[in-house]
Structure 1
Amino acid sequence: MSNFHDVTSPDELKSLLSQDLQRVSLLSFWAPMEGNPCEQTNKVVTALSEQHKNILVLSIQAMEQEEIADSFDVESVPTFIVLRGHTLLEKIVGADAAKLTESISKHARQPTEALSKTDKAPAAPPATTDTKVLPPAKAEGEETPEELEARLRKLMNQSKVVAFIKGSPDAPRCGFSRKVVALLRDEKIDFTYFDILTDESVRQGLKALNDWPTFPQIIVNGELIGGLDVVQEMAESGELQEAVAA
């Protein structure tokens, strides 16, 4: 049985990791974006899977499996997560083939003390605009819950349409953000954006305030209308333009 798997869902990942809680696993997050180093590091990952048959190698397309990427706080590709069972051994960000090879060689041959658990809540959120920059957040820990909610509502009302995304419109940091920016621009809708990766309090706060667990989140007239799927449906039906015009 092959030790290399292309992961296609969170349930599949959970199942694979649960098969042997003493086994070392390498989670390789990548994306098929032109000009990034993932093509080369994917070759390194394949070679490691062939060299170390005792480890589990999981290839994860970060843009397609955003829920998984968020749960491991993956904000750029390539990123590599080394686990033993559900215990985090090491996280490597960037195309550092030498460091990745050294890590796998070390952990594949000897157990390592648990550094931290990965069965935790997914990562947290951030902000900006297509034409203007939103005000910076306070330092973490300075806000009361009431102050945070007031700041969130202020951000949601910065303009008629606010897109809470990962990255910026010109440099999105996930596939869903890229698609929603393209959709808004295709619809010729002016919008302000907020990069949720810059502010954890905003990221987590919006999830709770809007009862919406993922990003992007599109706000019209201070109210959440939904994420990418909802906005796509509204655009196709003409409801998006109607909502913006209201």
Structure 2
Amino acid sequence: MVTTITSQTEFDLFKSNGLAVVHFYADWSEPCQHMNNILNEIASDSEFQNVKIAKCLAEDLPEVSIKYDVFAVPKFVLFRNGDKVDVLDGADPIQLNKKIQALLTKGNQKEQKVEDINLRLKSLINSAPVMLFIKGSKSQPKCKFSTEIINLFKELGAEFSTFDILEDQVVREKLKVYSNWPTYPQLYLNGELVGGLDIVKELLKTGELKDLLKLGKSNLNDRLKSLINKADVMAFIKGSKQLARCGFSNQLIQILNQTGIDYETFDILSDEEVRQGLKEYSDWPTYPQVYVKGSLIGGLDIIKELKDSGELIATLKGEI
């Protein structure tokens, strides 16, 4: 849908957030009318569903036109969150399409970067049942707080893994934001933040720390069993329903979506322990993997065969 802007207030509101394209046009201009038709086509294309598109008569908004150097029409101004990021002068559908695609790509790359960092952090904190983020290593801690927590865990005879934040500045800074905890060391049990050294000391005094560490070492098979039974239909894939991260996972998601049957997914890229353990648990060496009511159905090839034979929906419903 192409929005028609008739006032400066509408203009300011329209461009204030997200990705936006505004066409400054004139009624008397045939090239402008042609480009309005092009905009209608772009607006109806699902590829550009995250881009807002509008048109406004340049002569009706003189102050806005002057501000954005609209001295001839058609002219297109592209915005991201209120900031002008690109312009196009003249009636050039191909260039307009390219500029809008570039607008989308840059926005997606920024979102992707944040998502990739968060996925990596999630993977790290889930890489062992008991995970410590410290300065240095088990054998060579590099600050007094890290040394103290390492010695404490060794005295308890606890099994744990560590990550040296001095080796990775991105992890060091972003984990503070991700977990809303500003200092190190940080202790995680089964992917959940427990806290820093002071919290660990308090838990030791109350006797709760030993119980928590036992929980941290809970049996992997129990965890896998819980995951595959989380929903009637569970798909273990690379990525998510919204953003599959490999061709096979993407094909599977498309097939499952076509059935109309509810299902949930688990991103194996976010948890290396699950990724490796599930292969052995189910004796199935590759991904994706699909489970129905806790039982393995198979991978993408099996799902395709069931689809071709007309048995897929019944299988996903647990009727076969």
Measured against the shorter chain, the TM-score band is 0.3 to 0.5
Structure number with greater Rg is: 2
TM-score computed with the length of structure 1 as normaliser: 0.42
- For normalisation by structure 2, the TM-score amounts to 0.33
The answer to which structure, 1 or 2, has the higher relative contact order (CA under 8 A, 6+ apart) is 1
- Give the structure with the higher percent helix: 2
